[in-house]
Amino acid sequence: MLGLKCIASAAAPSSTFDSSQVSRAVAARRQLLLRCPLQLYRLKGVTFEGRQEVIRQLLPGQPLLFQQEPSNPADPAAVHVTTLDGASVGYVAAHLTYAFTLPAVFGTVTSRGLAEDTDKWGVAAACCPALHGVALDLLPDSWQQQADMQQVFGASNWQQLQQQALQRYRQRCAVTSVPSSEVPLHVVPLWRFDHIKKQDVHDG
């Protein structure tokens, strides 16, 4: 299916906006986090491409980005882990990438240190591999036409795709799980940065 997600929206006219909607969305997000236990991953490939210096400077609790890498020629199912400023940290072990069903999720450093009897640094990180993160898609002005889904697919097709996305997420926000009966939902495309092609791409 086309890469879409439903999100709670505060983009309503000020005369009709209910500020309590934000509180409901935040409370729902907290409950969702409690229901999604963290998974621990000891990252692989940490001795290549200058990652040792990056790992040496990591701090426990530092946020990380776990991102699918379908253009990876060695493994299209690869999950690349980076710092939030894009520095490569390593990869999720190949036999564990099946759990990552989203283009990208956030996690944190749990520990890092020298491997026993070596001078090489290792790192462990935790995340919820199937939980949408809270993020902003910052697209350049030149992408205005490409980011207009109604223009890309046509009005009728875009409306049908939105309905399919709402059904897929059971009329709930992908990020907070708050239902559409409580907060207005918008259907938005999923974007990710392709570290191999060095460009933003739309999933789907």
CATH number of domain containing 106: 3.30.70.2330
Average pLDDT over residues 156-163: 83
Which one is predicted more confidently, 15 or 189? 189
* Per-residue pLDDT at 47: 93
Residue 64, domain member (yes or no) = yes
Q: Which of 18-22, 133-137, 154-158, 169-173 has the lowest mean pLDDT?
A: 133-137
Distance CA 135, CA 25 (A): 15
Specify burial of residue 91 (Cβ count, 10 A radius: 0-12, 13-18, 19+): buried
Asked if residue 116 and residue 153 are part of one domain, the reply reads no
DSSP H or E run through 107: strand 104-114
pTM score, whole prediction: 0.62
Residue 117, domain member (yes or no) = yes
Residue 136, domain member (yes or no) = no
Q: How far is CA 107 from CA 46, 128, 141, 192, 199, in A?
A: 17, 7, 29, 16, 22
Average pLDDT over residues 176-199: 68
Question: 76-114 pLDDT, tens per residue?
Answer: 999 999 998 889 999 999 999 999 988 888 899 999 999
Residue whose C-alpha is closest to residue 169's, from 180, 182, 158: 180
Asked if residue 109 and residue 53 are part of one domain, the reply reads yes
Question: 136-151 pLDDT, tens per residue?
Answer: 555 566 666 666 777 7
Which one is predicted more confidently, 31 or 7? 31
Whether 204 contacts 164, CB under 8 Å:
no
Boundaries of domain holding 174: 4-33+142-197
In the chain, how many domains are there? 2
Asked if residue 110 and residue 180 are part of one domain, the reply reads no
Asked if residue 153 and residue 188 are part of one domain, the reply reads yes
Residue 162, domain member (yes or no) = yes
Asked if residue 94 and residue 19 are part of one domain, the reply reads no
* Per-residue pLDDT at 138: 57
Asked if residue 92 and residue 21 are part of one domain, the reply reads no
Q: How confident is the model at residue 12 (pLDDT cuts 50, 70, 90)?
A: very low
Give me the residues paired with residue 73 across strands.
none
